[in-house]
Structure 1
Amino acid sequence: MNPYSAQMENQNINREFGYQPATDSLDEAYTNTGEIRSHWKYLLESLHSLGAEAIEERQKKVRRILRDDGATYKIYDEPNASQTWQLNPVPLLISSEEWSRTETALIERAELFNAILLDIYGDRKLVQYGIIPPELPFSHAGYLRPCHQIKMQGEHQLILHGVDLVRSADGKMKIMADRTQAPSGAGYALENRTVMNRVFPSLFRDSHVHRLSLFFSRMRQKLHELNPNGGIARIVVLTPGAYNETYFEHAYLANYLGFQLVQGSDLTVRNGYLWMKSLDGLKRVDVILRRVDDVYCDPVELKGDSQLGVPGLLEVARMGNVAIANPLGSSVLENPALLRYLPEISKALLGRELQMESVKTWWCGDKQDLEYVCANLKDLLIKPTYRKPGLYEVYGAELDDTKLQAWQNRIRKHPYQFAAQEYVASAKTPTWHKGNFLPRASILRTFAVASESSYAVLPGGLTRVNLDSDKKIISNQRGSVSKDTWVLASEPEKHITLRAPEIQQSQESVGELPSRVVENLFWMGRYAERAESALRLLRTVFLQLNKTETLPDSIFRTLLKSITDVTSTYPGFTSFDAELLKNPESEMISIILDQHRIGSVANNLVAMIKSAEQVKEQLSSDTQRIINNIGDELDNLKLILKPGALSAPEEALGPLVTALLAFAGLIHESMIRGNGWHFMEMGRRMERALQIISGLRSMLTSKFDDIEQEVLVETALLCGEALISYRRRYQSGVNIENGLEMILLNAKNPRSLLFQVEELAMHFADLPGTKETLNAENKFLLEAITTLKLSDVKNLAKAETGVRQDLDQTLARVQYLVSSAAKAISQRYFDHAQGPQLLVKNTEWQDHL
């Protein structure tokens, strides 16, 4: 194609999507003359051939996949905003030649930062020789004196190193920031790649993109090599918990790497070692991949009021009995002021200048720098030297005179705590937004992991862009979205493996679940069953109330009262309020939809979803998808279920019941039969037993005329999905004796009370520590089974005084026994210990942070 034809093709592509290459800064895809850069040509032409409608459809698929995967990112300042991770469908492309230079420079930088870490917590020659002022490390909140001279085996102490790269107007990549404490983003980059591979399979394949998997194989291998205790390493990912902004990534990496995800409360220190508290007893932990900020990791020696760490962890690391990646104290390297001294540091430690420049930086702890920063504040990025929630970088050009003066006063008051950087207008990259390609500013975060001889760099990374062109600072916390980053290979990659034979040995860890995990699984089962039982009863009562024939007043009241009894939403229909009984729909809908009402369907489903969030790493993608569907169906109900607005309200509940059944079926058919499955099933069986008992006591313990009684027995059978089976088995019609036999004592009916307690006995028998002795929970359950099996259905059906006392007493006894078994299980297996508490709160430390 001649130059004129190429230019015309470029114009056609631009005209198709309304794209105007950036003029105020460099454009990643286009040259200054408007020509497509060679490595972007295939991608843009392919997207052009797809057309806007097809690209928009792919964007919708991206959103669906991310949501189904449970990919979330929490924006702290906007708790009610959508938490789903955002991925733009147009990747950032980097040529193989440029990446080769970038990779070499990043390896060099990782080696330098490793050397700085060794020096700061070792000989401190940088301070001794005056290369950096002592205030630079020692005034920083990330410098931890208790970590002095703590070392892991091997040359590399800095295991993971992250950098934020920006392309300046001259086309060169520059480094804005280093992430060394617990670098986040690699897991999101992997999720982005997985999604893009699914949404654009042929485009991805034909572009010859470098794979990311090798980087994570190296990470896994390095963590195993850090094992200080010999044998097969037990490695855990330490997370602050489900409310952390990047919790999805913690769970995602734990699953991808094959490690256990733990919180601080799951670990304990005994006899100089770190242990995980599992149902099978204490399991020694050899290596931690931590995502908890270092000052929170040990309340004994670091931040005393922390609830996220493990008391005594630092002493175990000091003894060399646990390896922590990255090591505690490594956040001192994230000080942006360090970039100001980096050229001199590099010459001292490496004997040369760095290949890749950092963005020009000033430290306000230096008097000359302070005066320069204050005089030029309007043109600079102001950065805190120590990152913490609520304290973000600001751009002086976006501040008015009053705020500029306030920042100047703040900086002069605490000069050591602030640095400033030259503002670099980052290169623009084609971004899909509102049906068009638009140029948007981007930055790239990529990562290096220590390997056998040096570092290995992730071939790509996490690109972030601002969809709003007026925003100058690119940050996920400020609403930026992500892109996949494609490093284009000059030739097809060879598939190799880094797995050592000893690492391939299987480690039977199905039962090695922390008690926190099994407790959440247990309550997931209970909350799901509560919601399902309530929905089944409400659906059946709606059906009975809307029959052609009018129900007797006594039956009408009994049915409504049973709703309150089963859901425990008192006083509800037990108050016998005349107006409420006259118009019961509003109360029934409140029991379904009022999220803040204890016992409501919505309240139980929200609690179930929160429990699922706490054990995200234990759930398959299909399970996550079903949980999302449950949330969707609940939201749909809020739109369509209104008093008097629906002709058949019971039909509106059907999809939510179906979603809950799908959840139960998936757990039953797909979940590994380990302790987690046993506890989830125990929760479901216990709750179903208690719900059956509540329903029967409310509806069947009082005596009514035969015709009235038939309606109540039929309701109970419908709730338990047993009416059709009942009619096939008993040809004489619906009566109390046969109904009780079917619901209460039929061991072949999966929704009978006897079936539930026998299933519980099976699960109890498989729990740890139940083989030798008959534990309390087994005794309670044995009595419950015996009580039911010795019952005589004829005696249970008798009602000499208007109340079936034998039935009520039997049900009350079994209810007590099942509840007692649940309490015994909780006391035996769940960890209720409170974390360490400070006797005196150190306010000086808080101010320092």
Structure 2
Amino acid sequence: MATQLSADTPEMVLNYPRPDTFYDEVYGANGDTRQHWRYLLDGLGSLGADGLRERQRKAQRILRDDGATYNIATAGLGSRTWGLDPVPLLIDSEEWSRIEAGLIERAELLDLVLKDLYGPRELIRHRVLPPELIYSNQGFLRACQGVQIPGEKQLVLHAVDMVRGTDGNMVVIGDRTQAPSGAGYALENRSVMSRVLPSLFRDSQVHRLSLFFQALRRKMASLSPNGDSPRVVILTPGAYSETYFEHTYLANYLGYSLVQGGDLTVRNGYVWMKSLDGLHRVDIILRRVDDTWCDPVELRSDSHLGVPGLLEVARAGNVVIANPLGSGVLENPALLKFLPQIAEFFLGHDLALQSTQTWWLGDPDDRDYVLANLNKLIVKPTTRRSGEHSVYCADLTPEELDEVKRRICDDPIHYVAQQTNLPGSSPSWQQQELLPRATVLRSFAVADQSAYSVMPGGLTRVASSTEQAIVSNQLGATSKDTWVLASEPQRRVSFFDERQPSYREDQTSDLPSRVVENLFWLGRYSERAEAAMRLMRTVFIQLNSPAPLPEAVRDLLLKAVTQVTTTYPGFTAEDAPLDQPENELLSVILEPSRAGGITSNLQAMLNCSEETKEMLSADTHRVINDLRDELESLPQFLGSGLAAAPEEALDPLVTTLLALSGLTQESMIRGFGWRFLEMGRRLERTLQSTALLRSLLVPVLDDSDQEQVVETVLLTTEVLITYRRRYRTRPMLNHGLTLIMLDKTNPRSLHYQIDLLRQHIEQLQSRERSPVLSDEHRSVLEALTLVQLSRPDELANSDDEGVREALDERLARIQTLLCTAANAISDRYFDHRSGPQQLVQTGWSEEP
């Protein structure tokens, strides 16, 4: 087959087969390679299979380090790394100009439809649209009648899914208008590809994406109903959302606050964001939550994702939602059947960008045709529902076809059928070779001043096999970067538009209380896990030591495991297997449902990191990914039991937690987020240390056994070497207590931790300028005083009952005070039971 590549084109590229599909991006109708593909294919060929394989590994490594994931809806937080094919999809400049004009025209038309359906409804009055098509659709929200946002355009964002038609031109197979996803992933793909194929990207003169996002920021600024410098937030369903990575990525890239429904509240006719420095009025919400979930008062009462009363504020014009609520009606695929008539009604001519042939089953004639030709069509519901996908009927058995027919006949107006527009193919690097795979392109348009601006290219999804007829991320598809090739070198454009008004300085302190609470608990869970692993490592070392471990010491150590981790009853039960502890120790380490166990604490910590993803640096994401990998491999390392150095299985986890702690010290701005992360860390480290001291040092043992227990405590708290150098004597309880409780230079001492906690609390309260100490401040001061007043020689004394009562009472009181401080912090800053705390001056005249 003639390809007209260069004479020395490598065999890898020459062997790319011309597929049986009706259209392939590489080959023209005569079998020749298209001109705009030749440079890229030559470049990929020069890399060879090994080079391309290495670039693919590098791309996956970057995506993993960036935390780029796509969550499967049924898998909880068990997400998978976003897939990226190292071979981009190419579109030449001339063809893209035609596609871009068609996308702009289509967005303009759908904007007119949206304004009409929630306004005069001329399309229904003139019988262009059947009323049941609109009124029966869940996307049409009667409560949104008359709601308008500032500006001429009501449809702010529009996404279009396209495939190649039989003539090679792009054909639309669907529109996304509620909360179009994918633009953030397209940006991430571009970022990765420009790093793994830098020379090919640079020399190919690819249209840049900056102008699209600049237009998006410009549009958000222009929508403000409350003057200049609007506060824009991105509303996300949360970490369990399929596209949560994109939400965090766009929030960081655009400079907007990422919020969940619980972070917002409606008061006095406005929307406010609950943050540590009070309530901030929100002007614009760029939503990633579908229509009906946005307001549990007027739309869907069982929603926990929205904001009660949000629609009423939007109706009053005091907040702008993009896209406006109710725009989901445009996603009804049955509209594709009527778009030619709609275009004639509004524009006087047909659309340049055609839609795939569609039959609406509410029409009797359409229904008869579809039922007679079902095995040749694709059936879709008119409203997207979780877990419900398009059905490619050619793959169904006769029984399955009968079931589809039954559903259609039972509820015909809620189904459409579409022509089997199997996507055209493009080269994809799979199975270590270039193979043709079906591709679907999603492009994006944003309203910008008097017209729409279109992202050059967009997000291309590619099938994972030749059998995959419906290309969907949910069904395992991967993605491609989309290169629109310019005819001349592209001028680098700054993402930021200097013409936009600068934001208020007080917005830099915007931080939802939920984010701060999760940072607080991120610190606490990491310390819980680290303390448990340190103790467990020491216990393993002692149990497997060459010299037999005295029974009293063994029993005390095992009971301390239960008491420190709070995995009761554990080794404190009357029938506890103290002489055969392996199963219980493995359970404490590996069982995810064992509250207080190591895996349970680490999973809770990872959950908190997902909720605060936008606050963490790229290096922090890498460490968290390493931690997740180590945790997943832990059962394998301990699969053979505890016979051979089990402490080594915990070492990588401890090291990774230490790296995480170091990064938060070196990489986080000293703002509210960092301060609460540190407060959680210091608070929990103190609680864990006091629990360790109470469980191991309060009971009185024989002298030799006591020395071994003191040495265990020093080893667990990382001060054994310091003790030996400082005291040059056998492990003695009074010296150990001095080092662990009182030493100001020991970063793991009680004094050091509580004093740091005091400083953080005082820094927060200094902004309030109140002479009255808060509950948490009083508790921490009292705990610090108790530590400072401690006399180790007195605390080391025992009574006739065989316990050190003075030490136990002192440590118990410190624990109680710190638990009181933790509850007070939660009540004051997270639960808002004491009302919002004004930590900075905003200078606003409005009061919530």
TM-score by length of 2: 0.95
**Residue matched to 1:778:** 777
Is residue 441–residue 458 contact of structure 2 (8 Å, CA) maintained in 1? yes
What is the alpha-carbon distance in structure 2 between the residues aligned to residue 159 and residue 171 of structure 1? 30
Deviation, 1:776, is 0.8
Distance 1:419 1:380 in 2: 10
Report the counterpart of residue 244 of structure 2 in structure 1: 247
Partners of 2:562 and 2:282 in 1: CA distance = 48
Q: Which residue of 1 aligns with 2:564?
A: 566
Contact 1:633 1:655 in 2 (8 A): yes
Give the match for residue 430 of structure 1: 427
**Contact 1:511–1:676 (CA under 8 A) maintained in structure 2:** no
Change in CA separation of 1:585 and 1:405 when aligned onto 2, cut-off 3 Å: closer
Distance verdict in 2 for CA 1:228–1:381, change over 3 Å: same
Aligned partners of 1:770 and 1:4: how far apart in 2? 77
Q: Tell me the residue number matched to 1:524.
A: 522
8 Å CA contact retained: 2:564, 2:692? yes
Pick closer, same or farther for the CA change 1:19–1:81 going to 2, 3 Å.
farther
Task: Indicate how the Cα distance of structure 1 residues 5 and 41 shifts in structure 2: closer, same or farther if over 3 A, else same.
Answer: closer
Q: Trace 1:260-299 onto structure 2 (pairs within 5 A).
A: 260-299=257-296
Matched with 1:661 is 658
What runs of 5+ residues in structure 1 fail to find an aligned partner? 834-849
Does structure 1 conserve the Cα–Cα contact (< 8 Å) formed by 2:533 and 2:654? yes
SS of equivalent to 2:73:
coil
The answer to whether 1:406 aligns with 2:373 is no
Q: 1:699 to 1:434 in 2, by over 3 A?
A: same
Q: Which amino acid aligns with 2:517?
A: E
Rounded Cα–Cα distance in structure 2 between residues aligned with 1:81 and 1:319: 41
Q: Is the 8 A contact 1:161 1:179 kept in 2?
A: yes
Task: Determine helix, strand or coil for the equivalent of 1:483.
Answer: strand
Aligned to 2:352, the other structure's residue is in SS state coil
Q: Look up the match of 1:556.
A: 554
Q: Following TM superposition, by how much is the alpha carbon of 1:791 offset from its aligned partner in structure 2, in angstroms? A: 1.6
SS of the aligned residue for 1:503 comes to coil
Q: In 2, distance between residues paired with 1:681 and 1:170?
A: 62
Matched letter for residue 827 of structure 2: Q
Question: Could you give the per-residue CA deviations for residues 318-340 of structure 1, whole angstroms, max 9, x where no partner exists?
Answer: 11111110000000001111111
Q: Alpha-carbon deviation of 1:5?
A: 8.8
**Aligned-partner Cα distance in 1 for 2:252–2:27:** 39
Contact 2:219 2:448 in 1 (8 A): yes
Alignment of 1:216-365 (within 5 A): 216-365=213-362
User: Is residue 738 from structure 1 mapped to residue 735 from structure 2 by the alignment?
Assistant: yes
The Cα shift of 1:509 comes to 3.4
For 2:530, the aligned partner's letter is E
Tell whether the 8 Å contact from 1:441 to 1:465 is kept in structure 2 after alignment: yes
The residue that corresponds to 1:678 in the other structure is 675
Cα deviation code 1:58-96 (max 9, x no counterpart): 111222211111111122356697522111111110001
Cα shift at 1:576: 6.0
Match of 1:844 in 2: none
User: Residue type matched to 1:824 in 2?
Assistant: A
Distance 1:791 1:640, change over 3 A: same
Do the aligned residues in 2 keep the contact of 1:95 with 1:489 (CA within 8 Å)? yes
Secondary structure of 2:207 counterpart: coil
Aligned residue identity for 2:138: A
> Deviation per CA, 1:709-762, whole angstroms, max 9, x where unpaired?
221111111111112222222233321111100001112211011111111111
Query: 2:714 matched to which residue of 1?
Result: 717
Q: Which one is further off, 796-805 or 181-190?
A: 796-805
Aligned match of 1:843: none
Tell me the secondary structure at the aligned position of residue 63 of structure 2.
helix
SS at match of 1:51: helix
> Match of 2:809?
809
Aligned partner of 1:161 among 158, 161, 173? 158
Structure 1 vs Structure 2 CA RMSD: 1.9
CA distance in 1, matches of 2:508, 2:585: 42
**Residue 585 (structure 1) aligned with residue 618 (structure 2):** no
**Alignment pair present for 1:209 and 2:210:** no
Which whole-Å deviations, capped at 9, do the CAs of 1:532-560 have from their partners, x for residues lacking one?
Answer: 00111111222222222223221122122
Bigger drift between 367-376 and 520-529 goes to 367-376
Distance 1:803 1:409 in 2: 76
Residue 219 of structure 1, CA deviation = 0.5
> How many angstroms does 1:650 deviate by?
2.1
Q: 1:91 maps to what in 2?
A: 88
CA distance in 1, matches of 2:57, 2:558: 44
* One-letter identity of the residue aligned with 1:817: L
2:61 matched residue in structure 1: 64
- Spell out, residue by residue over 1:481-514, the C-alpha distance to the aligned partner (whole angstroms, 9 max, x if none): 1111111111111233461455334533343222
Structure 2 match to 1:840: none
d(CA) in 1 for partners of 2:36 and 2:609?
43
Cα offset, 1:783, TM superposition: 1.0
* Alpha-carbon shift at residue 129 of structure 1 (Å): 1.7
Name the structure 2 match of 1:624. Answer: 621
Shift of 1:403: 2.2
Partner Cα separation in structure 2 for residue 140 and residue 16 of structure 1: 49
1:17 CA drift (Å): 6.9
What are the Cα deviations for residues 14-51 of structure 1, in whole angstroms up to 9, with x where unaligned? Answer: 65574211133111011233321111101111111111
In the alignment, what sits opposite 1:22?
Answer: 19
1:483 to 472, 480, 504: 480
Tell me the equivalent position of 2:838: none
Which of the residues 617, 621, 634 maps onto 1:637?
A: 634
8 Å CA contact 1:14–1:20 kept in 2: the answer is no
Give the secondary-structure state (helix, strand or coil) at the position aligned to 1:582: coil
In 2, Cα distance between equivalents of 1:88 and 1:74 = 18
Whole-angstrom distance in 1 between the partners of 2:484 and 2:728: 72
Determine the structure 2 residue equivalent to 1:795: 794
Q: Which residue of 1 aligns with 2:836?
A: none
State the one-letter code of the partner of 1:794: D
795-804 vs 505-514, which moves further: 505-514
Task: Show CA shifts across 1:140-177 (max 9, x none).
Answer: 11111111111111101100000001112311111111
C-alpha distance after superposition, 1:774-800 (max 9, x if no partner): 111111111111111112221111113
Matched, 1:544 2:542: yes
> By how many angstroms is 1:4 displaced?
7.1
The DSSP-based 3-state class of the residue aligned with 1:766 is helix
Q: Does the 8 A contact of 1:113 with 1:158 survive in 2?
A: yes
| Higher mean displacement: 771-780 or 588-597 | 588-597
Say whether the 8 Å CA contact 1:797–1:804 is kept in structure 2. yes
CA contact (8 A) 2:173 2:356 kept: yes
Once residues 17 and 771 of structure 1 are traced to their aligned partners in structure 2, the CA distance between those partners, rounded to angstroms, is 74
Counterpart AA for 2:100: E
Worse overlay, 351-360 or 510-519: 510-519
Q: Secondary structure at the match of 1:93?
A: strand
Name the count of aligned residue pairs: 829
Match of 1:648 among 639, 645, 669: 645
- Give the gaps of 5 or more residues in structure 2: 834-848
Alignment counterpart, residue 601 of structure 1, candidates 566, 584, 598: 598
CA distance in 1, matches of 2:506, 2:378: 51
Q: Give the TM-score of the pair, scaled to structure 1.
A: 0.95
* Secondary structure, counterpart of 2:401 in structure 1: helix
- Report if aligned partners of 1:710, 1:735 keep a CA contact under 8 Å in 2: yes
Aligned counterpart for 1:415 among listed residues 409, 412, 433: 412
Q: Are 1:754 and 2:751 counterparts?
A: yes
- Percent identity reads 55
Conservation of the 8 A alpha-carbon contact between 2:12 and 2:434: no
Single out whichever of 700-709 and 447-456 deviates more from structure 2. Answer: 700-709
SS of corresponding position for 2:436: strand
